[in-house]
């Protein structure tokens, strides 16, 4: 009886010893996960909404767990202050201007706090520091937006289905193009015309490019007109002369008009000569009489030349005229010789 009781006590003692070992191991394991046995500092962050964050949730920095959430308390009017235990080993990498934001370990996993950012110009974080916070995107807002996008997608799919049915049925312009062979031929003809127009435009552009290249040649007229000041001054002088010539022509035309008006007036001699037929007839008769008188006068002069009283005079006159003509011919010959030399 005593042996059996002693055996039972030994088994109970062994069971209790194993239980104690498991309990201590569990405490050490949980303490290691919760960073209970490492040196830490307290860092704070203030949020408007913690979105279900709980005490004991992890704190991450660059994807590495560096601490846990120690306390969650209300702060101010409606904000929440988070107390975080941060390992001292990670302090050299966290700056005072770093920010804290809410995140999750997976799409529907536990909430965490992510510390990110910070610049080398700022000093490292210290105990009791407060980090700036950034509000995370609310999951409910994301789901609401996703629901709206789904509704819009359903509406777009329905509209596309209606549109495709109308296209298949040949309704509308595009449906007619897809189902009407004549319209399709017309559309192809339009496309061909556009191709020809594009080709013609390309050739015209090339021709214009060649023409402008020729205009830019140094020997070309256009280049000289644009760059040679002497040519420009000559053109401007010619334009001024043309303007003066046009003004003179206008003045001449005005004078001719005035003269024409005077010629039509019977109050002057020329007007009477041009417009009075009776005076013109009288003048014609007078000219006829003058001509007859001139003929008679010539005949009388010829008769006088043969007269013995005036014969010597006319001979001397003829001699003087012959000598004068000879001297004139000699001067002309000398002048021609000078010109030739």
In the chain, where the domains are located: 38-140
> What are the structure tokens assigned to 214, written together?
């020729």
Whether 102 contacts 113, CB under 8 Å:
yes
Angstrom distance (rounded) from CA 267 to CA 275: 10
CB count in 10 Å sphere of residue 326:
9
Greater confidence (11 vs 21) lies with 21
Q: Which residue has the tokens 């105990």?
A: 127
Report the pLDDT averaged over residues 163-190. Answer: 70
CB count in 10 Å sphere of residue 77:
5
Q: Which of 34, 40, 42, 51 is nearest to 134 (CA)?
A: 51
Report the pLDDT averaged over residues 303-316. Answer: 65
Report the pLDDT averaged over residues 217-245. Answer: 70
Angstrom distance (rounded) from CA 151 to CA 73: 39
First CA to last CA distance, the chain: 177
Q: Which phi-psi region, left, alpha or beta, contains residue 19 (left: φ > 0; alpha: ψ -120 to 50)? A: alpha
Angstrom distance (rounded) from CA 113 to CA 57: 8
Whether 263 contacts 270, CB under 8 Å:
yes
Report the pLDDT averaged over residues 70-88. Answer: 91
* pLDDT class of 25 with cuts at 50, 70, 90: confident
Percent of the chain predicted with pLDDT > 70: 69
Q: What is the pLDDT of residue 341?
A: 67
> What are the structure tokens assigned to 266, written together?
């019977």
**Beta strands 58-61 and 40-47, pairing class:** unpaired
Highest mean pLDDT among 36-40, 120-124, 133-137, 288-292: 120-124
> What are the structure tokens assigned to 27, written together?
């405490």
* pLDDT class of 35 with cuts at 50, 70, 90: low
Residues 106-129: pLDDT tens digits? 666 788 999 998 888 889 999 999
**36-58 burial by CB neighbour count: b if 16+ within 10 A, else e?**
eeeebbebbbebeebeebeeebb
Whether 129 contacts 86, CB under 8 Å:
no
Report CA 4 to chain centroid distance, whole Å: 104
Q: Which of 29, 95, 35 is nearest to 62 (CA)?
A: 95
Strand partners, 73: 81
**Mean pLDDT lowest among 58-62, 251-255, 290-294:** 290-294
> What are the structure tokens assigned to 302, written together?
């010829």
Q: What is the mean pLDDT of the chain?
A: 77
**Mean pLDDT lowest among 118-122, 145-149, 177-181:** 177-181
Angstrom distance (rounded) from CA 49 to CA 74: 10
Whether 33 contacts 59, CB under 8 Å:
no
Q: What is the pLDDT of residue 82?
A: 93
Q: Which of 45, 149, 29, 147 is nearest to 96 (CA)?
A: 45
pTM of the model: 0.37
Q: Which of 90, 83, 93, 72 is nearest to 130 (CA)?
A: 83
DSSP letter at 102?
Answer: E
């Amino acid at each position: 009886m005593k042996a059996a009781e002693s055996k039972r006590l030994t088994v109970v003692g062994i069971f209790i010893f194993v239980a104690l070992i498991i309990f201590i191991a569990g405490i050490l394991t949980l303490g290691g996960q919760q960073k209970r046995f490492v040196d830490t500092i307290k860092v704070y962050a203030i949020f408007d909404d913690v979105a279900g964050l709980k005490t004991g949730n992890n704190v991450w920095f660059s994807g590495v767990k560096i601490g846990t959430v120690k306390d969650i308390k209300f702060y101010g009017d409606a904000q929440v202050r988070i107390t975080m235990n941060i390992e001292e080993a990670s302090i050299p990498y966290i700056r005072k201007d770093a920010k804290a934001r809410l995140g999750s370990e997976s799409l529907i996993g536990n909430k965490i706090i992510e510390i990110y950012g910070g610049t080398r110009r700022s000093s490292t974080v210290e105990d009791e520091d407060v980090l700036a916070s950034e509000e995370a995107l609310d999951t409910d807002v994301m789901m609401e937006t996703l629901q709206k996008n789904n509704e819009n997608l359903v509406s777009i799919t329905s509209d596309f289905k209606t549109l495709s049915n109308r296209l298949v049925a040949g309704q509308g312009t595009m449906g007619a193009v897809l189902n009407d062979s004549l319209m399709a031929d017309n559309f192809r003809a339009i496309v061909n015309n556009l191709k020809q127009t594009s080709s013609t435009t390309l050739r015209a552009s090339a021709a214009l490019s060649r023409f402008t290249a020729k205009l830019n040649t140094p020997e070309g007229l256009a280049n000289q007109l644009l760059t040679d000041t002497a040519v420009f001054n000559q053109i401007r002088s010619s334009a001024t002369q043309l303007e003066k010539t046009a003004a003179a022509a206008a003045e001449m035309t005005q004078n001719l008009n005035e003269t024409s008006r005077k010629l039509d007036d019977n109050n002057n001699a020329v007007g009477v000569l041009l417009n009075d037929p009776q005076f013109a007839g009288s003048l014609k008769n007078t000219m006829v009489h003058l001509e007859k008188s001139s003929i008679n006068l010539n005949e009388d002069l010829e008769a006088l030349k043969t007269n013995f009283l005036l014969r010597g005079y006319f001979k001397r006159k003829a001699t003087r005229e012959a000598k004068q003509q000879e001297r004139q011919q000699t001067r002309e010959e000398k002048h021609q010789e000078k010109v030739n030399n």
